[in-house]
Each structure stands twice: as C-alpha cells, then as structure tokens.
Amino acid sequence: MSTKENEFAPHSHLPYGADGSGYYSDNAPVCTNAIMASEPLVLDAIRSATVKPGSVFTIVDYGCADGGTSMPLMYACVKELRKIHGDNLPVHVVYEDQPVNDFKSLFLHLQGFIPGPKSFLLDFPNVYVTACGTSFFSQCLPPRSVNLAFSACALHWLHEKPCDITGALHHPMITIPEEAEMFKKQAAKDWETILLARAKELAPGGQMILVQPTFDENGECEGKETPVSRHETLRDLWHGLVTDGLITQEEFHKTTFAYYLRTVDEYKKPFEFQDSPVRKTALSLISIETKVMPCPYRKKWLREGGDPKAHARWYIPAMRSWSNSTFLSGLSDSRSPEEKKAIVDELFKRYENEVAKRPADHGIDLVSAYMVMEKRKQ
C-alpha cells in the first residue's frame, strides 16, 4: 500500500480486483444472503414511512462496496415504494463508501454494463442515484434528509487501528488484556460517532436498518457448523511464511485487521447508558436480534461435491476480497510492490491448497446483529 493510498484510506480496506470488474460482489454471496435476510425489516420500514406530498424519498447504503451485494434489496425497496406511492414519488438512492471505493463497478452494475442483479435504475422511472465518498464516521448528508438508512457488513471496521495484535491478526483472537481494552475503547468511540452522525442525517420518523457482525449467544463469531476457523487459518498460514523465511516476525506483528466485532450488549449500550450523547438525540433502538448465515460455498460443496481444487479456487476470492490490503499493509516498506504482491499471492495459494485438501472443513459463516432504529417524529 503506497503512502498516497494510505492518506486516502483512513479505515477499512482497499478494494481488491480490477477496478470496474464487480469483483467484490461477485465473491461475496454470503454478504448478499445476510443482507436479503433483512428484507422484511426494511420493507416494514418503507411501509410505515411518512411521505409528504412533493418530497423525495432518500435511501442511503453506508459502506456499499461495489453495490452488487445490496442491489436485490434496493430493488425490493424501490419496487415497494412504487407499489405504495406510484411513479410520481422521486426516489434518491445514495451509495456511501471510502474515496478509494470501487464506485466504477457500482455504476456499471446500475447501468447494466456488467453482469449482476437486476437494476432498479433501469427498471423503474423517477429514480436517481448518487455516490458519496465521505466516510461514515462523518456526517455524509444534510440534516434531516434521509428517510431510510441501511448498512451491512461494514461498521465493524474502525476509524483507526488501536494497536497491533500480539500473536494474532483479528480482534476476536486477542489474548493480551491491554490490547483488548484498546480495541474495545476505539470501537465504543466509533460506534457513538456513527450513531450521532446518522441521528443528524435521518429525517424525523426515518428508520435505520443495520446488519453487522457480532457474536451469538454462545460467544461464537464464525458460526458452529464449519469445523475450521477462518481467523485461525489466516493467522497460521501467515505465520507459516515467518517460519519459511518469507516474512519477518515484525511484519507478522504489524499485520492487524482494524476491525472490532461488537457484542449485542455493546450495540445496545449507547441507547441504555444514561449519560450517552446518543440518548440525547431523537434516535432510539427499536429491536435487535442475531442470525447465523451459513456459508453458501460450503453448503454447495456438501450438497454437490465436485473437484476439490476447483472448489478451492472458487472459495478463496471470497476471503481475499476484504483481507488482501491488510496483508499488504503489514509488509515492510523496504519491499517493492511486486515483492509484496508475490508474498500475499503465496499466502492465498497456501490457503487454496488447504481448502482443496478438506473442502468440507472450510466456510464463511456470518453471525450478524439485525438492528432497527428510528428517529422520533418531531
């Protein structure tokens, strides 16, 4: 990752894959499935929304990536609005993400120039789409302008990395209390920041539906069906490059994913803590529940079987799409970009080999919190 890229990527990851190729959504079916599980909540929010004559109905997808994973849901939203209000209601869909996001793929998807889900922009009249490159840690839109806010699989990324994790790569695997506390504090600060920004943007009576990573009632964040932990696999394979002399121990230590998986109680806390600034806004938490979305890759393998090597080649991009830039960022700046790429290529080649050996043991199960929030009518 170059210095320039670092300046424009204050949090999360840089997109992987060719710009404009739709790589992320092509390789994130588990995210699409998790998003579609929220459809009843989202459509209920649309049905209960107050729409004033002459107004515009604004929907925002925060942390949209290339837009493909949420397109079926956005299509359902526009269809429902047309069913209720007809064609005269202008619908404005805003896609928010980092400035380095693959917005090119987003618009190619919407215009039907690359394969993907049906486009609401092409199929319905009086619909308008814009992109916002302002981080969701800031206010992105004018006050009281958003009727429906949505975000999925995005708000676990932190505004900044609290520290490097000793002996692991991911927050759920932290073993040192001081490091755990630093991540916890950063996550609490960021969650409050996000909620305060959305409280300003939501129109009175507007709702926000969130689908975000969490832990289930047993403290599991990867589901119980898949035998092998993807977090442990990435850690062990990356450390294997240390053992083989391809990277240094310092580079392993510097490789830390800047995200935090909040518990249900942590999601609820800003709404319950008496002195919380969020309590002083008109935003309230209506409901929260957890669901486990099983890995579609593993389900297909268990159902159909096939060539293990072909399955592994299909599976690995789903892991690499969101993790590639973190591995690059851990490598020393003394290495050339070509050398860094070769090292990360070797990591995922080894991961692919592991999946090919035991396809049924690997999967990407998502444990998500489904939250409904509402801004009080004033």
CA distances, 243 to each of 238, 247, 332, 352 (Å): 9, 8, 17, 19
Coil vs helix vs strand at 50: coil
* pLDDT at site 217: 85
Domain extent at residue 167: 3-375
Count CB-CB contacts under 10 A for residue 58.
Answer: 23
- Give the separation between CA 74 and CA 16, rounded to whole angstroms: 24
pLDDT at 1 over 90: no
Coil vs helix vs strand at 96: strand
Q: Which of 209, 207, 220 lies closest to 375 in space, CA to CA?
A: 207
* pLDDT at site 343: 98
- Give the separation between CA 56 and CA 130, rounded to whole angstroms: 14
Q: Which residues on adjacent β-strands are paired with residue 275?
A: none
Tokens of 372: 């409904």
pLDDT at 8 over 80: no
Each residue of 213-224: pLDDT tens digit? Answer: 999 888 889 877
Q: How many domains does the chain have?
A: 1
Coil vs helix vs strand at 291: strand
Looking up tokens 């300003």 gives 200
- Give the separation between CA 320 and CA 27, rounded to whole angstroms: 9
* pLDDT at site 7: 43
Cβ distance 238 to 323 under 8 Å? Answer: no
Tokens of 369: 């919190």
Each residue of 40-58: pLDDT tens digit? Answer: 999 999 999 999 999 999 9
Q: Which amino acid is at 45?
A: A
Tokens of 96: 């928010």
Q: Which helix (H) or strand (E) holds 302?
A: helix 296-304
pLDDT at 163 over 50: yes
Q: What's the CATH code of the domain at 225?
A: 3.40.50.150
* pLDDT at site 227: 92
Each residue of 319-375: pLDDT tens digit? Answer: 999 999 999 999 999 999 999 999 999 999 999 999 999 999 999 999 999 999 999
Count CB-CB contacts under 10 A for residue 111.
Answer: 12
Q: Which amino acid is at 69?
A: T
CA distances, 147 to each of 14, 25, 81, 132, 137 (Å): 29, 25, 12, 16, 19
- Strands 57-62 and 146-152 turn out to be parallel
Cβ distance 234 to 351 under 8 Å? Answer: yes
Each residue of 308-320: pLDDT tens digit? Answer: 999 999 999 999 9
Cβ distance 373 to 281 under 8 Å? Answer: no
